[in-house]
Amino acid sequence: MSDGSSFYVTTPIFYVNDVPHIGHAYTEVAADVLARWHRQAGDDTWFLTGTDEHGQKILRTATANGVTPKEWADRLVETAWQPLLKTIDISNDDFIRTTDERHEVNVQLFLQRLFDAGYIYTGEYEGYYCVGCEEYKADSDLVDGTGEYAGQKVCAIHSKPVELLKERNYFFKMSEFSQRLLDLYDENPNFIQPESVRNEIVSFVRRGLTDLSISRQTFDWGVKVPWDESHVVYVWFDALLNYITAAGYGYDDEAFARRWPATHIVGKDIARFHAVIWPAMLMAAGLEVPKQVFGHGWLLVGGEKMSKSKLTGIAPNQITDTFGSDAFRYYFMRAINFGQDGSFSWEDLSARYQAELANGFGNLASRVIAMVTRYFDGVVPDAGVLDAPDQAIRDTEVRVTAAADDAISRLAIHEAIAQVWQLVDELNGYITLQEPWALSKDPANRERLGTVLNTAVRGIGTLAVLLSPVIPEASSKLWTALNGAGAVSDQPIRSAFDWAGGTTVSALEPLFPRIESSESDGSAA
């Protein structure tokens, strides 16, 4: 069962100004599946998510809305970000806000330590700044504007003009860490994954790092630099520190030692912040670097990256209102190879819902329970002598349990689900071939019928345990129908095939009910 290992997983903290779209939900679900899996394996698991609330962009929006930036952040956390987690059934252990006192105080502590250690100096900086990105842009990050911005240089991500800023700032001596970072990437090839993201970052660092401007004087919505309160901390420097301030850095050494280092799940577009700036900051502070930075791919809709600024954003509840949270979770984890870009379409979602969830898994569970009810009055029959097909199902249960766990340890979530689905498919084939309805017609086949249904019940129970991290709601309903002991999410997942159930089954409502076709094209509210 548990080897007592610690698994600390994080999502990026989300910028409160954004409206949640399925790209955010995708990151959350991936981290959640990993957390639920490890928790169910008995690992010492901690799952952190939260919100990024400082910076000029938030100050401007709040001012435009006639409220303070803190009021603005409170409103968005309450009306947008916390509800998102409910919509997609996220099991986070903590939710950090960068306006939390535990965060602000310890950002200052961290910064002071870097300052005292000589890693921070004062300098002049002039450059093009994108408020949307909250970052200075290199010339190569700018493109020619079009339309109302024709003739100006604009940010390639936001398509909006950049501002020429000149500031007297504090700088972090990041350039001193180029070689140590390259050594880290070399000694620990898994530090950055997948390979494509790793290669891009390694070649970026090989070109040499410049020092990083880490304070701003032009606005005051941020954490104050402890030795010079006329400056606030650069929002990315502030935000990255959430991963340790939430874990106890500066105020709970025992918790921090137990949890840190973390596995960071991020979009590949911000992998550079997490795999370059962040470990350099930690090295400077004498702290351990993260366990891993995993940069997942983009969701594409009609070939374009999903984001609000590109106007292709889809709100997660547009999907969950029709299909439910389990289907949302299953679809994005199954249909897209985690780490690669993937296309979302309503047609694909609808087709997989019907074929895989409703017909493949849901119908299998319903049929098995209905047959035990019909032929054995709801009492799970004992198995007699196992024939080869029965033994094959049991072997598959053991094999896919180990294979899925191995896939999860490599963050290959899609592969873990594909492994488990082999059991779904084999069980469906098994029932078709064994024809329990035919066996039921001759009392001479009573023992054989019992063996087949016992094997099938064992199989769907194993599926409930293995699928609980991905489709928690359906797994829990199935577990209840099997009269399983305790909660399905407490069943040791690394020995899923050894689950203990009751001696009877109860009625099971359809796990994935039929959806009217008019609702599955996305036009339903």
Residues identified as active-site? 21, 24, 130, 133, 155, 158, 305, 308
Q: How far is the CB of 134 from Zn ion (least distance, A)?
A: 8
Q: Would you say 60 or 158 has its CB closer to Zn ion?
A: 158
- Rounded to whole angstroms, the Cα distance separating 39 from 45 reads 5
Distance CA 297, CA 121 (A): 36
Q: 469: cis peptide before it, omega within 30°?
A: no
Residue 127 binds Zn ion, judged by CB under 5 A:
no
Task: Determine contact, residues 281/288, Cβ cutoff 8 Å.
Answer: no
* By the rule CB under 5 A, 439 interacts with Zn ion: no
Angle at 521 between CA 519 and CA 522, to 5 degrees: 80
Q: Pick between residue 85 and residue 133 the one whose CB is nearest to Zn ion.
A: 133
Of 94, 92, 95, nearest to 78 (Cα)?
Answer: 95
Which range touches Zn ion (CB under 5 A), out of 133-141, 203-211, 298-306, 373-381? 133-141
How many residues interact with Zn ion (rule CB under 5 A)? Answer: 6
Where residue 353 falls (left for φ over 0; alpha for ψ -120 to 50; beta otherwise) is alpha
Minimum Å gap between C-beta 216 and Zn ion is 16
DSSP labels for 118-158? T-EEEEEEEEEEETTTTEEE-GGGEEE--GGGTTSEEETTT
**Which tokens hold the place of 303?**
């070939």
Over the window 474 to 503, marking each residue x when it contacts Zn ion by CB under 5 A and - when it does not, the resulting string is ------------------------------
Distances (CA, A) of 144 to 152, 276, 299, 384, 481: 6, 28, 26, 75, 61
Per CB under 5 A, the segment of 154-162, 336-344, 350-358, 435-443 that binds Zn ion is 154-162
Spatial CB neighbours of 180, under 8 Å, sequence gap ≥ 6? 280, 283
142 binds Zn ion (CB under 5 A): no
Mark the segment that binds Zn ion (CB under 5 A) among 16-24, 157-165, 296-304, 487-495: 157-165
Question: Considering only residues 157, 423, 457, 463, which one is a binding residue for Zn ion as defined by CB under 5 A?
Answer: 157
Q: Give the amino acid at 479.
A: W
Task: Verify binding: residue 155, Zn ion, rule CB under 5 A.
Answer: yes
- Is residue 427 a contact residue for Zn ion (CB under 5 A)? no
Q: Identify which of residues 307 and 312 has a Cβ nearer to Zn ion in the complex.
A: 307
> Which listed residue (133, 165, 379, 392) binds Zn ion by CB under 5 A?
133
Contact status: 154 vs Zn ion (CB under 5 A): no
Least CB distance to Zn ion at residue 18 (A):
13
Piece in contact with Zn ion (CB under 5 A), picked from 30-38, 128-136, 382-390, 427-435:
128-136
Beta bridge partners of 170: 122
Residue among 129 and 361 whose Cβ is closer to Zn ion = 129
Binding segment for Zn ion (CB under 5 A), chosen from 147-155, 229-237, 351-359, 483-491, is: 147-155
CB of 157 to Zn ion, least distance (A): 4
User: Are 8 and 257 contacting, i.e. CB atoms less than 8 angstroms apart?
Assistant: no
Applying CB under 5 A, among 130, 284, 319, 327 the residue interacting with Zn ion is 130
- Torsion 344-144-157-201 (CA) sign: positive
Q: Which residue, 458, 411, 373, is CA-closest to 291?
A: 411
Q: How far is the CB of 155 from Zn ion (least distance, A)?
A: 3
Q: Which of 246, 109, 243, 233 is nearest to 172 (CA)?
A: 233
Least distance from Zn ion to the Cβ atom of residue 68, Å: 25
* Stretch of residues binding Zn ion (CB under 5 A), selected from 130-138, 340-348, 360-368, 447-455: 130-138
Query: What is d(CA 444, CA 449) in angstroms, rounded to the nearest whole number?
Result: 10
Residue number, 155 or 262, with CB nearest to Zn ion = 155
Cβ-based nearer residue to Zn ion, 57 or 296: 57
158 binds Zn ion (CB under 5 A): yes
Q: How far is the CB of 158 from Zn ion (least distance, A)?
A: 4
Tokens 């979530």 sit at which residue? 413
258 binds Zn ion (CB under 5 A): no
β-bridge partners, 379: 504
Distances (CA, A) of 443 to 315, 383, 385: 55, 16, 17
* In the complex, minimum distance from the CB of residue 161 to Zn ion, in angstroms, rounded to a whole number: 10
List 42, 127, 132, 226, residue binding Zn ion (CB under 5 A): 132
Interface residues toward Zn ion, by CB under 5 A? 130, 132-133, 155, 157-158
